[in-house]
Structure formats: structure tokens, C-alpha cells
Amino acid sequence: MILLRKIRVFSLFILSHYAVKFCIGGDVITASEYIQDPGSIISSGGLYRLGFFSPNGTTNRYVGIWHNKIPVFNVFWVANRENPVLDSSGVMTISDAGNLVILNGKKQVLWSTNVSTSGANAKAQLLDTGNLILQKQSSNMSTNDTTAWESFQIMCDTQIAKMKLSTNLRTNEKQVLTSWKSPSDPSIGSFSISLEPLNIPEVFLWNGTTLYWRSGPWNGKVFLGIPEMESVYVDRYTLVDDKEGYVYLTYSFAEVSYLSYFFVRSNGELLQPFWDENDKWWRIDWSTRASDCYVYGKCGPFGYCDAKKSPICSCLRGFEPKKVEEWSRGNWSSGCIQKSLLQCDRLKNGSTKAGKIDGFVKLENVKVPNYAIWLSPLEDKCREQCLSNCSCAAYAYDAGVGCMYWSGDLIDVQKFSYPGTTLYVRVAHTELEGKRDLRAIIAIAVVVATVIFSIGTFFAWQKSKKRGGKDGEQFSKASSENMLGGSLSKVNLQELVLYKLEELAAATSNFSDANKLGEGGFGAVYRGRLLNGKEIAVKRLSGASGQGLREFINEMEVISKVQHRNLVRLLGCCAEQDEKLLIYEFMPNKGLDAFLFDPLKREQLDWRRRFNIIDGICRGLLYLHRDSRLRIIHRDLKTSNILLDEELNPRISDFGTARIFGGKEDQADTLRVVGTYGYMAPEYAMEGRFSEKSDVFSFGVVLLEIVSGRQNTSFNEEDQSLSLLGLAWKYWEEDNVLALVDHKISVGCSEIEIIRCINVGLLCTQELAKDRPTISTVISMISNEIVGLPRPNKPAFPERQTTTDTDSSRQSQKKYSANNVTITALEGR
């Protein structure tokens, strides 16, 4: 019965990533004790299983190893990845020559360990480390068995604890990770990971023979190019240089029950999932897919990449673009060149006057360039030794490494939001003088601005007194009740432009209706064009409500602190007279809703584009929830708040109602419920409780809208009493989920992927927050890294809700606007 129950559960998800049949056995394979499909063996402690499986989208059979006690199925090692068994006739056994082999029904050898041993006394055993070993059994009871081969030496796409990513310094032989060709094909793909024994060791990710990403130098605890390791990986990884000429990277955990692995996807993304026992899901510790800056050499020689800037590439101080026209078009590969000759260069050119000596400019929190050379263990010798060496272009110091320097081009410099290394770049003395002049100008400007601000504040205070204090009370209330508990003093204005109202009025034709892009609960958005030709989007906050002021402060505070390719970018602001305006980069394709719910435009959204939009929204939410310096809950995620750029890439917008979580905070309550009907999680709408899981609920609604092309808030033709969630559940229960799919989509070979997305959408919209996955788990689900998806329960709000005004249990007064209903819930009195 147990076996039948498991088969029944997996049959419900036959379109999931893997189709697996289980058959329980021991932990050993011999010539007489073999595995025949669908059989398997389990390690003695029950931690790992070796058996036959089929990846998603194929009936080919492979032999792999996976975690036995984890309900979510993930294969981390595959034996016959290049030669599958084409049917269910496969057998894994010990050959007459003593090798572990896989045979098909015709007894043809499809895979072999290919080592020399004796078949009569050979056995294979699956250990509780996940390592499959082939041993020659000793005839002498006092002598240990000899290991002739082990799976840990033949790595696939995953490194688990105690595996070694290694390089032999004498022979240059390497143990590398190699990606699958695709999620349905485990044969060797384009991407590989290797440990490079440079002057200071680094991990390289290759796309074929092209360097695609690098970890930065190893400092004894972490790689300097992965700032997240300071909090995520400390004391897990070890780099060892043994006496046999091998350098290897390995890791282990004090608690055997802790499960995590390092893994390269078929698309080249690196990530480290870990098993969350509370949520029963694989969650993501770290991933390289946060921004385009992770691509090696994105900004060329002497350029640096900053994902928080637009454009993301800039020249190092003292340098300028080598090819200005290409640089302005967004092609930064040619990099930058020095503006002024260095002292050494002037002497080489025959100058009789060496002039003033060179100096260094400082760039903080960076990933240091490639090809670092160790110079000295002493920090105070770095500058002196670099300055005396004409070939030294830059230096840096790290306590774990010592002093490093670089000669030649500085390539792959990246600016971090997290703490990173400080890089000192050599420049001509003229650049240093310019820097002092700039500092003087900034100092004077700050003093003048302070005086003007003080005078302005005094007169504003006098004016507010004459008004009788009503407006002053409103401002005080709005500030004190700001959802972030902050004020404009917390907003990072360093990279924002302060626009004049007159300038914005001219850019938008005096905020004409012809330039209006849309209107939300807190104001309208206008298209504008500045005098320099740059197109912008101007969000004009409504002056009619206290929420307008709260949103202005709130949005400034949140968005000034985060930057990601799937978040809309704030360019500047304006606060003059009674006007409050936010200026964003212009998104030519407006909101996702403008495409998705338009009968003509949505034809442009084929399934591949829709899936890319889903993935992009996930990445943006993951950044907000986990990968940014702050933990941010959006609270109003909906299709109209997903903007599309010129390539239809999604950008999450509208952070006016967002909330920053601090420290260990994972949920909060509010008396002021703000959001949009149809997208709000039940615990938030009914009780004012919000968390990451309430954003996940909203995402689930958006996902189902993208798949179906229908709004959750609109009536549906099949049953006008059902919401979109209810309709999705109805089709799920009827085993007819493809009926939900937008008829504009050609399902074809994407059927499995679409069904998986509907499954995930229903899991995200579960009634109870604890039953919903985290956004990191969602990413793993839709990208086929988590398989055998759980069956969802009935989602929340399956029936359509009326828009009648009602009093909530928290004594909130709710006002609904038509169709895309925005809830503005005022505090209880």
C-alpha cells in the first residue's frame, strides 16, 4: 500500500520535472545484487537514494542520486548523462571485469566506471555522504577494502558537502562542475565551474571557453567577489593545498541534517539552495542572477559596473570612454582609457620634466579586478611599493590576503551595495588636484544650500502658523505615521536629481491629459520630455489626501535604497508649493495590464515572453525580500504596477505603500490596510497582517492573470460567481487546467511549463500564509529545480467579492474604485 500511495502521488504530477519510480533495496550492488529499473538502493542511514529516473519532458531513463528524506525531488549526480536507456529495461550491475555498469535490454554497456579490478570480489556501495564508491573486497579480514572509483570524483552540475572542486598544480587536471544541456537533458551543457590556481585562487564560471563570471580572490574565509558570503557562507568552505599537488575547495556542516548544495543551472546561473525544514522547501542562499554586473568584464578595461546606476557602466576616476559613440549606445566592451599621462609614461615619452608624482583615487565596496598579484602581508607597504613600480595600476588590501596589486588593464570591477574591498587606482596628479577643487565646490554648495534651506524653513514655519495649524497637523500626522517610521532625512538623495516644478510642467505640457499615462489611488502619471530630449515618467502625487504625502516620503525612502534590473528606477523628485512629484525612467510599453488585457496587444505576448515576465517579477521580488540590504514588502503588487521596458522586460513599480522590515522581523500588523482588491492576501485584507507571504499571494494572482489573460477582478463567462482563483481551482479539480490558458498562447511543447506555472500560482494563493512558498522557492519551482510539486488546496477568495462598502473587523473604512479596485483603508477612530 505504501508503494502504491507513493506512485499515486507522483502520478498526479507526471508532468513535473522528474518522473521517478521507487523500489526499496539495500545500499550495495554486486554481480548478484543489481538494480533493475525501477529499482533503487538507499544509503545505510537512509539519507540518499540511487535509482532510475526520467527528467521532465522525456521518457529517457538515467541512473542518479538524490536526497531520500526530502519530499522535493532533486537529482545531484547522474551516471549515464550522455547515454540514456531508451526504455525501462535498464540494469545497473557489476560486470565480469569488476566495473559498475549500466546495461540496456540488449545487454549493451551504456556507461561504465572503466577501472581495473576483479569482478569476483567487487561491490558498489552508496554512502551516507551521497558518495557512490566501487570497492575491491579484500580476502583478508584484517585488510580494509580498496576503493577503486567514487562518484565524488566525477562531478556533474552540483557540489554537495565533502565533494572537492579541485585542480592539480602539477598536471593541471581539474575536477569541474558542468551544467545540464537543458532542464530535460542532463548531458554536458555549455557552462562549467573550475577552481583556478592563480596567484590567489578563484572560482571561474566558463561559457564554453569564454570566462563568464568569477568569484574574486579567496581570503581564507570567503571569496572577495561574493560579498554575501560574509553572512551566508562563513565557516562552511575550506580551500586546501595538499602535499600531492592538489588545491581543492570543499565544505561541510557541523550538523549532518543541514542540507545545502552549490549548483550551476543550464542557463549559467550559480546558486546555493538550502533546505528549510520549517517551510519544507529549498530556499536560495545566494545567486549570481541579481544583475548584469555579474557578467565578466561587462564594462571593459578600466570601467566598473554598478547595478544601482543607469547606465550600469562608468569609467574609473581619471579615465574616459575609449570609444565614446559605442559607450553612449550601451556597448561598453571597449572600456576606458586614462585622461592624463602618468609620471612613468611621461618619462618614457622623453619628457625632461617628470612633473608631480602620481597618486591614487579610492573606490570603496568593490569586487577587485581579475588577475590579482600578491605583493606583501603589510598594509602600510601597499601604497609605497605600488607607487615605486611603474607597472602597478592599482592596489588593494584585505586582512585575509594581504596587499594585492594589478598591472595592465583593470578588468571586471564591480561596485557592491554590500561591504566589499577598497580599491586604490593609480592616476596622474592632475586628477588629484581636480578632486580637491571638486571637494571645495561641494563644500561651498553644501553651506549655501544649508543657509537657503534654513531661511526657507523659517518662512514656511511662519506661514504655517498664520494658516491656523490645520495643514501643519496634517503634515505632522503624515510624517509620524509614515509606514516606514521615517522622514526625508532618511532618503538617499545622492544619486537623485532635484527637478524644478517649472521644468516638469514644460516637459509634460503643463500636465495635460494628452500626456497622462495612467492614474492610481494616489495620483496620476504623465509622460514628459526634458529639454535634453530625455523621456521621463512624472508621478504627480494627489494633494487631496494625507496618503499622498505619506506615499511621497515612503516611496522616496524605499526606492532610494534599492536598485535591480527588475525594479523601476527613480531619477529624481520635486517638492514645490503644494506639489509632490516623483520622476522615473520612462517605460515605453506602460504597464503589463495594458498588454495583457487588451485583445490586440496581448497577441504580442507569446508564452516565452510571458514566462520571461513571470521570471523577472520573481527576481525583483526576491531582491526586495532577500537580496537587497533591506527586507522590503511591496504590499500592492498587481499587473498595473508591473511596467514593461522596450524589450518587454518587467519592472516592479509603485513603492508608495511598501514597508521595510528590520532585523529578525518577518511580519507586521497595521491599522491602515492599503492595496488593491483582488490581489490582497486574506490575512492582510481581514487582519492587517502582512509579510513576504502576502506579496507571494499577490504574485500568485498576477501569475494566473499572465497565464490566463483574465483579470481576477473581472467577471468570467464560464461562471460569473467565480473569481479567477476560483476558476483556476475548478479546472484543477476537473483535471482540465489547460482550459484556463489564454487562447492567444500556442501551448505546443510548453504545455508542461504552463501547467507547472498554474500549479505554482495556486500554491501561492493558498488561504493560509504558512502553506504558501517563499519567492525563492517559487523561482526554483518554475525553473524546474524543484520537482514533484505539492498538490494545492483550495485557494483563498474562490468566489467573487462584492464592492459594497463595509466596516472591517479593525474598524477600517474602505473606499473602492471601479474595476481595478484600490482599497484606501483609513485608521479606526
Judge whether 641 and 653 are in contact, CB under 8 Å.
yes
Of 96, 119, 121, 118, nearest to 107 (Cα)? 96
* Sign (positive or negative) of CA dihedral 328, 329, 332, 335: negative
Single-letter code of the amino acid located at 332: W
Count CB neighbours of 555 within 10 A: 26
Three-state DSSP at 151 gives helix
Cell of 115: 577501472
Of 30, 66, 55, nearest to 186 (Cα)? 55
Cell of 395: 592596489
Count CB neighbours of 519 within 10 A: 13
**Candidates 27, 593, 636, 654; catalytic one:** 636
CA neighbours within 13 Å on the CB side: how many for 42? 11
586 contacts: CB under 8 Å, gap ≥ 6 = 527, 528, 535, 536, 537
Place of cell 557562507: 233
Three-state DSSP at 672 gives coil
* Sign (positive or negative) of CA dihedral 29, 32, 36, 39: negative
Which runs of E-coded beta strand occur in 654-742? 659-661, 667-669, 674-676, 689-691
Active site residue 636: yes
Which runs of E-coded beta strand occur in 370-433? 373-376, 392-398, 402-407, 413-415, 421-427
**Quick one: DSSP state of residue 771?**
G
Judge whether 554 and 657 are in contact, CB under 8 Å.
yes
Q: Give Cα 675 distance to the centre of its chain.
A: 25
Of 765, 820, 782, nearest to 607 (Cα)? 782
Is residue 539 a known part of a binding site?
Answer: yes
Of 367, 407, 85, 425, nearest to 225 (Cα)? 367
Single-letter code of the amino acid located at 561: K
Question: Can you tell me the distance from the alpha carbon of 261 to that of 159, in angstroms, rounded to the nearest whole number?
Answer: 6
Question: Can you tell me the distance from the alpha carbon of 84 to that of 188, in angstroms, rounded to the nearest whole number?
Answer: 13
Of 604, 619, 696, nearest to 652 (Cα)? 619
Place of cell 507513493: 6
Residues in binding site for ATP: 539
Catalytic residues: 636
Residues in binding site: 539
